[in-house]
Structure 1
């Protein structure tokens, strides 16, 4: 049992991930990337949880635009959050959760204080347990690619109460193995988004995203 009481933000994120099994991750270095259009395409395809990384130019502005209004049942958050003061920026933009590549206790505590969910990045059982005890919504297993689904199963043995979200190098064919191993959900970036943020076809993204949604739901 988690020693801290989950906030409403925790419950909303955890229930979303449990139901849909997928976090779509948008990351770009390109100013003017079509973030809002891409997120709307993903939502049309059935994606219900989207992360836009903070270093992406225009990330917070896109979150603010998408939040008014965001379709019912959808969550949008901000990733690559590494400093506590960034939590304030996320909340001001309307972000509903934060994701980090690292486990930093202050981030979790700051987010809990603002009633938004958290997915801290962890690579070891020790980090995962510490993050969970601090009050993380779930643990982002990162980078997942060198670990694989077997690590999820191994962690779920002694630590079954910790929900895991493998992220990093997760493609379409990896989704079921991770979920079948016990993961709560998976985080998927470029294999899903492709070149959509670089001017690629939104129609092709729609088709591709529907495959990811179906795989996570199957």
Structure 2
């Protein structure tokens, strides 16, 4: 998928579903359920907690790409090293999301022709990530930082597109959009690992619908122009 298309897809839907703790055996049903709710951007996170975690993550990316193809926009999350960016790109990931700001990961991601979304906490980190080539800067953890903090950081840095992760709900997402946040990563509030384990994929679809409706309401109110 072309880089421009990946960015347009994220900009249009504004929500990236964070899939964490779901193994290869249930990943395709999970992705289909999220897609059925209207969300096509999906971040499959690296699991660094087990010996087989990295391999399982790569297999999950491959399965979603093979099963849904260009119906979905798949990225890799918790990318901590340049090597992981390379492995994820080989598996089919279109973008790399990290909890922190590592220039080596950003640069390698861009060399691979992929979208870079590193994490940042301070204005200094935001500027450094942007200077290194980031396409979006992930403000994490947004729920802890708070809306007023994000507004203050965005004030002098409006030229840098920001993605908020953590503490975002359908009820408050409009406030973050009003503050100029461009996109959102939504984890447990959207992708419940417990629901996946029970086979209750309908719950994921309903959660995705809730977020899509919230974004659409904001757009329909005439606030969707950037």
TM-score, scaled to structure 1: 0.89
Which residue of 2 is the match for residue 75 of structure 1? Answer: 73
Which residue of 2 is the match for residue 215 of structure 1? Answer: 214
The unaligned stretches of length 5 or more in structure 2 are: 218-226
Which residue of 1 is the match for residue 38 of structure 2? Answer: 46
Which residue of 2 is the match for residue 114 of structure 1? Answer: 112
Q: Whole-Å Cα distance in 2 between the matches of residues 42 and 31 of structure 1?
A: 16
Q: Deviations over 1:44-69 (max 9, x none)?
A: 11102100101174221121122125
Q: CA deviation at 1:150?
A: 2.0
From 20, 41, 50, the equivalent of 2:13 is: 20
Q: CA deviation at 1:73?
A: 5.7
Say how many residue pairs are matched. 209
Q: Whole-Å Cα distance in 1 between the matches of residues 85 and 10 of structure 2?
A: 21
More relative contact order, 1 or 2 (CA 8 Å, 6+ apart): 1
Give 1 or 2: higher helix fraction.
Answer: 2
Which residue of 2 is the match for residue 5 of structure 1? Answer: none
Which residue of 1 is the match for residue 135 of structure 2? Answer: 137
Within 5 A, what are the aligned runs for 1:1-218?
8-9=2-3, 11-28=4-21, 31=23, 34-55=26-47, 57=53, 58-68=56-66, 70-72=68-70, 74-194=72-192, 195-218=194-217
TM-score, scaled to structure 2: 0.86
